[in-house]
Amino acid sequence: MKIPTSSPSWTDLYAGIMAILPISLGVVPFGVIAGAAMVESGIPPHHAIAMTIVSFTGAAQLAAIDLIDQTAPVAVIVLTAVIINLRFMMYSASMAPYFRRFDALTKWLGAYVLTDEAYAISISRFRNGDLSIHSQKWFYFGAAIPFWATWHLSAALGVVLGTSVLSGVSLAFAVPLTFIALLIPDLNDRPTILAALVSGGTSILLGFFPFNLGLVTAVLIGIAAGSAFEQRSTTQSDRTAATDTGCETA
Protein backbone atom coordinates (compact mmCIF):
# COMPACT_ATOMS: atom_id res chain seq x y z
CA MET A 1 0.00 0.00 0.00
CA LYS A 2 1.33 3.42 -0.95
CA ILE A 3 0.87 6.36 1.37
CA PRO A 4 -0.22 9.52 -0.49
CA THR A 5 1.43 12.86 0.08
CA SER A 6 0.17 14.24 3.38
CA SER A 7 0.28 17.59 5.11
CA PRO A 8 3.70 18.36 6.55
CA SER A 9 4.51 17.74 10.18
CA TRP A 10 6.07 21.06 11.19
CA THR A 11 7.65 19.52 14.28
CA ASP A 12 9.46 16.90 12.19
CA LEU A 13 10.42 19.46 9.54
CA TYR A 14 11.89 21.70 12.21
CA ALA A 15 13.78 18.78 13.75
CA GLY A 16 15.32 17.99 10.36
CA ILE A 17 16.24 21.63 9.78
CA MET A 18 17.96 21.92 13.14
CA ALA A 19 19.82 18.65 12.61
CA ILE A 20 21.24 19.75 9.23
CA LEU A 21 21.87 23.40 10.16
CA PRO A 22 25.49 23.08 11.42
CA ILE A 23 26.46 21.05 8.36
CA SER A 24 24.67 23.46 6.02
CA LEU A 25 26.72 26.35 7.35
CA GLY A 26 29.87 24.33 6.77
CA VAL A 27 29.03 23.66 3.11
CA VAL A 28 28.77 27.35 2.20
CA PRO A 29 32.51 27.72 1.41
CA PHE A 30 32.37 24.67 -0.83
CA GLY A 31 29.40 26.07 -2.71
CA VAL A 32 31.15 29.40 -3.23
CA ILE A 33 34.26 27.56 -4.43
CA ALA A 34 32.24 25.49 -6.88
CA GLY A 35 30.46 28.53 -8.29
CA ALA A 36 33.69 30.49 -8.63
CA ALA A 37 35.48 27.53 -10.19
CA MET A 38 32.80 27.21 -12.86
CA VAL A 39 33.10 30.85 -13.83
CA GLU A 40 36.89 30.75 -13.83
CA SER A 41 36.85 27.66 -16.08
CA GLY A 42 34.94 29.64 -18.70
CA ILE A 43 31.40 28.39 -18.09
CA PRO A 44 28.85 31.19 -18.62
CA PRO A 45 27.12 32.21 -15.36
CA HIS A 46 23.64 31.07 -16.42
CA HIS A 47 25.06 27.71 -17.52
CA ALA A 48 26.93 27.42 -14.24
CA ILE A 49 23.76 27.93 -12.21
CA ALA A 50 21.86 25.49 -14.44
CA MET A 51 24.61 22.92 -14.01
CA THR A 52 24.41 23.26 -10.24
CA ILE A 53 20.63 22.79 -10.24
CA VAL A 54 20.64 19.83 -12.62
CA SER A 55 23.60 17.92 -11.18
CA PHE A 56 23.37 18.88 -7.47
CA THR A 57 26.47 16.94 -6.52
CA GLY A 58 29.41 18.91 -5.18
CA ALA A 59 32.24 16.39 -5.53
CA ALA A 60 31.29 15.27 -9.03
CA GLN A 61 30.61 18.86 -10.05
CA LEU A 62 34.07 20.01 -9.00
CA ALA A 63 35.65 17.04 -10.77
CA ALA A 64 33.64 17.81 -13.91
CA ILE A 65 34.73 21.46 -13.77
CA ASP A 66 38.35 20.38 -13.57
CA LEU A 67 37.91 18.12 -16.60
CA ILE A 68 36.02 20.79 -18.53
CA ASP A 69 38.89 23.16 -17.85
CA GLN A 70 41.20 20.57 -19.42
CA THR A 71 38.86 20.23 -22.44
CA ALA A 72 38.32 16.55 -21.71
CA PRO A 73 35.87 14.60 -23.89
CA VAL A 74 32.25 14.62 -22.78
CA ALA A 75 32.29 10.85 -22.28
CA VAL A 76 35.19 11.13 -19.83
CA ILE A 77 33.45 13.90 -17.89
CA VAL A 78 30.20 11.95 -17.65
CA LEU A 79 31.94 8.70 -16.69
CA THR A 80 33.93 10.43 -13.97
CA ALA A 81 30.79 12.02 -12.51
CA VAL A 82 28.93 8.71 -12.59
CA ILE A 83 31.73 6.83 -10.81
CA ILE A 84 32.02 9.50 -8.13
CA ASN A 85 28.26 9.34 -7.55
CA LEU A 86 27.93 5.56 -7.39
CA ARG A 87 27.69 5.86 -3.61
CA PHE A 88 24.21 7.34 -4.02
CA MET A 89 22.99 4.00 -5.33
CA MET A 90 23.92 2.49 -1.96
CA TYR A 91 22.34 5.39 -0.10
CA SER A 92 19.14 5.01 -2.11
CA ALA A 93 19.00 1.26 -1.52
CA SER A 94 19.42 1.89 2.21
CA MET A 95 16.65 4.50 2.21
CA ALA A 96 14.27 2.50 0.00
CA PRO A 97 12.59 0.49 2.80
CA TYR A 98 11.58 3.74 4.49
CA PHE A 99 10.20 5.29 1.28
CA ARG A 100 8.59 2.28 -0.39
CA ARG A 101 5.08 3.16 0.83
CA PHE A 102 5.14 6.71 -0.51
CA ASP A 103 3.91 7.91 -3.88
CA ALA A 104 6.19 8.31 -6.90
CA LEU A 105 6.50 12.09 -6.60
CA THR A 106 7.78 11.82 -3.03
CA LYS A 107 10.32 9.19 -4.08
CA TRP A 108 11.60 11.23 -7.04
CA LEU A 109 11.90 14.39 -4.97
CA GLY A 110 13.61 12.47 -2.18
CA ALA A 111 16.10 11.01 -4.66
CA TYR A 112 16.88 14.41 -6.15
CA VAL A 113 17.67 16.12 -2.83
CA LEU A 114 19.63 13.13 -1.47
CA THR A 115 23.11 14.06 -0.23
CA ASP A 116 25.75 12.46 1.97
CA GLU A 117 24.81 14.79 4.78
CA ALA A 118 21.02 14.38 4.59
CA TYR A 119 21.41 10.61 4.32
CA ALA A 120 23.73 10.32 7.32
CA ILE A 121 21.49 12.41 9.55
CA SER A 122 18.24 10.76 8.45
CA ILE A 123 19.23 7.10 8.37
CA SER A 124 20.52 7.21 11.93
CA ARG A 125 17.16 8.55 13.14
CA PHE A 126 15.22 6.05 11.03
CA ARG A 127 17.15 3.08 12.41
CA ASN A 128 16.53 4.20 15.97
CA GLY A 129 12.85 3.55 15.38
CA ASP A 130 11.72 6.68 17.22
CA LEU A 131 9.95 8.18 14.16
CA SER A 132 6.73 7.08 12.51
CA ILE A 133 6.59 6.62 8.72
CA HIS A 134 4.96 10.03 8.37
CA SER A 135 7.57 11.63 10.64
CA GLN A 136 10.45 9.96 8.79
CA LYS A 137 9.44 11.58 5.51
CA TRP A 138 9.15 15.10 6.87
CA PHE A 139 12.28 14.83 8.99
CA TYR A 140 14.19 13.79 5.86
CA PHE A 141 12.84 16.65 3.76
CA GLY A 142 13.42 19.04 6.66
CA ALA A 143 17.09 18.09 6.49
CA ALA A 144 17.50 17.63 2.72
CA ILE A 145 15.73 20.67 1.28
CA PRO A 146 17.48 23.35 3.40
CA PHE A 147 20.79 21.74 2.50
CA TRP A 148 19.77 21.86 -1.17
CA ALA A 149 18.88 25.54 -0.86
CA THR A 150 22.12 26.37 0.99
CA TRP A 151 24.23 24.70 -1.69
CA HIS A 152 22.50 26.50 -4.55
CA LEU A 153 22.58 29.90 -2.89
CA SER A 154 26.26 29.58 -2.01
CA ALA A 155 27.11 28.33 -5.51
CA ALA A 156 25.19 31.25 -7.02
CA LEU A 157 27.16 33.59 -4.76
CA GLY A 158 30.36 32.02 -6.04
CA VAL A 159 29.20 32.53 -9.63
CA VAL A 160 28.56 36.22 -8.95
CA LEU A 161 31.77 36.85 -7.00
CA GLY A 162 34.07 34.38 -8.73
CA THR A 163 35.70 36.66 -11.27
CA SER A 164 36.04 39.62 -8.90
CA VAL A 165 36.43 38.90 -5.20
CA LEU A 166 37.84 35.39 -5.72
CA SER A 167 39.79 36.07 -8.90
CA GLY A 168 43.11 36.09 -7.07
CA VAL A 169 42.40 32.95 -5.04
CA SER A 170 43.74 29.62 -6.25
CA LEU A 171 40.93 27.05 -6.38
CA ALA A 172 43.13 24.10 -7.25
CA PHE A 173 42.69 22.69 -3.75
CA ALA A 174 38.90 22.46 -4.04
CA VAL A 175 38.61 19.04 -5.67
CA PRO A 176 41.07 17.09 -3.45
CA LEU A 177 39.79 18.85 -0.34
CA THR A 178 36.22 17.82 -1.14
CA PHE A 179 37.22 14.23 -1.83
CA ILE A 180 39.16 14.03 1.44
CA ALA A 181 36.18 15.40 3.38
CA LEU A 182 33.95 12.75 1.82
CA LEU A 183 36.45 9.93 2.20
CA ILE A 184 37.60 10.13 5.82
CA PRO A 185 34.21 9.36 7.48
CA ASP A 186 33.82 6.25 5.32
CA LEU A 187 37.14 4.65 6.32
CA ASN A 188 35.49 2.47 8.95
CA ASP A 189 36.59 -1.08 7.98
CA ARG A 190 39.59 -2.84 6.47
CA PRO A 191 38.18 -3.47 2.97
CA THR A 192 37.31 0.23 2.62
CA ILE A 193 40.71 1.34 3.90
CA LEU A 194 42.43 -1.05 1.48
CA ALA A 195 40.31 0.22 -1.41
CA ALA A 196 41.22 3.81 -0.52
CA LEU A 197 44.94 3.06 -0.25
CA VAL A 198 45.02 1.10 -3.50
CA SER A 199 43.02 3.78 -5.32
CA GLY A 200 45.22 6.57 -3.99
CA GLY A 201 48.48 4.83 -4.78
CA THR A 202 47.33 3.73 -8.22
CA SER A 203 46.09 7.22 -9.10
CA ILE A 204 49.59 8.56 -8.40
CA LEU A 205 51.20 5.87 -10.54
CA LEU A 206 48.71 6.51 -13.37
CA GLY A 207 48.93 10.29 -13.13
CA PHE A 208 50.38 10.45 -16.62
CA PHE A 209 47.08 9.26 -18.15
CA PRO A 210 45.34 12.02 -20.13
CA PHE A 211 42.07 13.66 -19.04
CA ASN A 212 42.30 12.24 -15.50
CA LEU A 213 41.60 8.74 -16.83
CA GLY A 214 44.15 7.53 -14.30
CA LEU A 215 41.74 8.55 -11.55
CA VAL A 216 38.88 6.57 -13.07
CA THR A 217 41.11 3.53 -13.56
CA ALA A 218 42.45 3.81 -10.01
CA VAL A 219 38.93 3.91 -8.59
CA LEU A 220 37.98 0.70 -10.42
CA ILE A 221 41.18 -1.04 -9.27
CA GLY A 222 40.60 0.10 -5.69
CA ILE A 223 37.02 -1.19 -5.70
CA ALA A 224 38.20 -4.53 -7.06
CA ALA A 225 40.91 -4.79 -4.40
CA GLY A 226 38.52 -3.94 -1.55
CA SER A 227 35.87 -6.36 -2.84
CA ALA A 228 38.42 -9.17 -3.21
CA PHE A 229 39.70 -8.59 0.32
CA GLU A 230 36.18 -8.56 1.74
CA GLN A 231 35.28 -11.75 -0.12
CA ARG A 232 38.43 -13.47 1.11
CA SER A 233 37.76 -12.39 4.71
CA THR A 234 34.18 -13.67 4.48
CA THR A 235 35.35 -17.02 3.11
CA GLN A 236 37.93 -17.41 5.86
CA SER A 237 35.33 -16.55 8.51
CA ASP A 238 32.94 -19.13 7.09
CA ARG A 239 35.68 -21.79 7.11
CA THR A 240 36.61 -20.96 10.69
CA ALA A 241 32.98 -21.13 11.78
CA ALA A 242 32.56 -24.48 10.01
CA THR A 243 35.70 -25.85 11.67
CA ASP A 244 34.57 -24.70 15.11
CA THR A 245 31.16 -26.27 14.56
CA GLY A 246 32.79 -29.53 13.51
CA CYS A 247 34.97 -29.60 16.59
CA GLU A 248 32.03 -28.98 18.89
CA THR A 249 30.04 -31.74 17.20
CA ALA A 250 32.93 -34.16 17.58
Per residue in 66-81, pLDDT (tens digit) is: 888 788 888 888 888 8
Could you give the CA distance from residue 234 to residue 250 in angstroms, rounded to a whole number? Answer: 24
Name the residue with higher pLDDT: 157 or 80.
157
CA pair distance 180, 71, nearest whole angstrom? 25
Span 27-44, mean pLDDT?
Answer: 82
> Could you tell me the pLDDT band of residue 141, with boundaries at 50, 70 and 90?
very high
Contact 173, 180 (CB under 8 A): no
Is the separation of the CB atoms in 58 and 184 below 8 Å? no
Chain-centre distance of CA 24, in angstroms?
14
The tens digit of pLDDT for each residue in 187-217 reads 777 888 888 899 889 988 988 887 667 777 8
Of 46, 45, 68, 22, whose CA–CA distance to 164 is shortest? Answer: 45
Q: Per-residue pLDDT for 231 more than 70?
A: yes
* Over residues 228-242, mean pLDDT: 75
How confident is the prediction for the chain on average, in pLDDT?
80
pLDDT at site 178: 53
pLDDT surpasses 80 at 115: yes
* pTM (2 d.p.): 0.67
